[in-house]
Amino acid sequence: MQVRPTRPKVFVSSTIQDLRDVRSAIKYWLEEMGFQVQLSEYNDFDRKPELNAFQACFDAIGDCDYYILLIGGRRGSLYDEGAGVSVTQQEYRTAYEPAKAGRLKMAIFARQDVLNAKVDRAGTTQVEPAATAAPSPLVEDPAFVFAFIDEVSRAAEVAEAVAGEGQYPAANWVMPFATFRDIVDGLRSAFRITGPLEAVALLENLRFELEENLRILLRKHKLCGVDLPFLAHWWLSGVREEVTLTEEAIGGVVHLSQEHLRHVGPYLITSAPSPDALLTSALDDAISSGAFLSYDHDIGTYRPSPLLESLYALRKALHVYRTRFAGMQQYLDHWFELSRQANRGELPGGYSVPGDQFTLVFGLYDAQVELYRLFVGILRWLYGHTGAIEVESGPISPITGEDEKIRQDRPSREELQGWLQADVLRPRSS
């Protein structure tokens, strides 16, 4: 199964000999913008070994999202000598049908001096036959090149439409160029290019920030003389596994053993870091940049990539952790005192705590574990340890059995998109 690239693909069509420098400049600029560019003279051009060179080019057009045609002063190599069809002309004809159907975005450029020569020749032919008109020194085969310009501008169809005998053609706008800047400006408009995708710099900043945050959540544990990672939230992991928090307990009490109480205080005081210590600027930059949108070839637009979806999940998890941490602050002294009493052996029978208060403890722990999962999952992908971002979704609620109810009651993304597309949602006035 062939995997299509997540970057939009562009095919550049023109004669090579007289436009080689322009083609190379277009390739460089578009790739800086985040596109994948197909030029037949480059080694990275996708070729199918079972096809001849011409057919390989024509087939490649069908796999592209954008098509650029450059018309200079040369006819170029012939594809069909009997019909007088050039390779570039056949490439254009291959691209025009999907462009007319809206499956391929097309941008057509012609050299300004060639267009000027065409206008001059048109003025001359009004006085004398075209066969005797003086050829332009700018054009190798004036009759062919000028006819090709008429073809791509769909001059005959436009004339019929003006006369009321047909419809105006699609994808027939020819943009003149004298400098490379003219081409850049035309492509920005035709392809809606707003700026470069500086993904490399964003990824490096993101990597650094995630590593710094992960350092805050980890401690070192020496085993056989070797430092190994130790999770800061480990203090509460045993309590989380052994104590069941039910919906009924929220309005009542939760009984904790003396051993459980020994762990709650140290976790809250030493192992649940303040949200203010966690960095978020690179995360915000990565989300807002647009660099991690993935091009969807089927619908012809951008969607969040798996990386961007994980970054959205991380930002949400940071918000949840920040909220639960703030809610826990008023009870810290109480929990610390209970832990001190448990460590002195003063609570052999355990202690019953309000259920709503203990819900905050498990809620904070779950949020911290979720942060750890996201930090590690994204960093493993950035380091190339996995081909997919492996991030497990943690519990939504600390109350046992509540997760499934919440998930069933909350609409899925697909359901929401279906409602929006069907326009069944309406804003309420009150």
Mean pLDDT of 397-412: 63
Is the Cβ–Cβ distance between 60 and 76 less than 8 Å? no
CA distance 114 to 71: 8
pLDDT the model gives residue 5:
53
E strand intervals along 165-235: 174-177, 218-223, 226-231
Mean pLDDT of 269-296: 90
pLDDT the model gives residue 26:
95
pLDDT digits (tens, 9 = 90+) for 121-134: 776 544 344 444 55
344: pLDDT strictly greater than 70: yes
CA distance 312 to 284: 9
CA distance 245 to 223: 34
Mean pLDDT of 199-215: 88
At residue 86, φ and ψ (nearest 5 deg) are -85, 165
Residue, of 292 and 151, whose pLDDT is higher:
151
User: For all residues of the chain together, what is the average pLDDT?
Assistant: 84
114: pLDDT strictly greater than 80: yes
Bridge partners of 9? 36
Is the Cβ–Cβ distance between 105 and 67 less than 8 Å? yes
pLDDT the model gives residue 124:
53
CA distance 301 to 289: 16
Residue, of 4 and 366, whose pLDDT is higher:
366
86: pLDDT strictly greater than 80: yes
pLDDT the model gives residue 284:
95
- CB count, 10 Å around CB of 167? 8
Q: Give the DSSP letter string of 241-252.
A: HH----TGGGGS
Angle at 237 between CA 233 and CA 240, to 5 degrees: 125
- CATH class (in words) of the domain with range 9-191: alpha beta
What is the token pair recorded at 221? 């544990």
Share above pLDDT 70 across residues of the chain, in percent, rounded to a whole number: 84
pLDDT the model gives residue 78:
92
Helix axes 306-328, 281-289, angle to 10 degrees: 140
416: pLDDT strictly greater than 90: no
Residue, of 48 and 409, whose pLDDT is higher:
409
| Strand duo 253-256 + 351-354: pairing | antiparallel
Residue, of 264 and 70, whose pLDDT is higher:
70
Mean pLDDT of 297-318: 89
116: pLDDT strictly greater than 60: yes
Q: Identify the helix (H) or strand (E) that includes residue 253.
A: strand 253-256
Parts of the chain belonging to CATH 3.40.50.10140: 9-191
Quickly state the pLDDT bin for 373 (edges 50, 70, 90).
Answer: very high
CA distance 376 to 231: 12
Mean pLDDT of 193-212: 81
Helix axes 199-217, 355-382, angle to 10 degrees: 140
CA distance 65 to 104: 5
Bridge partners of 353? 254
Quickly state the pLDDT bin for 66 (edges 50, 70, 90).
Answer: very high
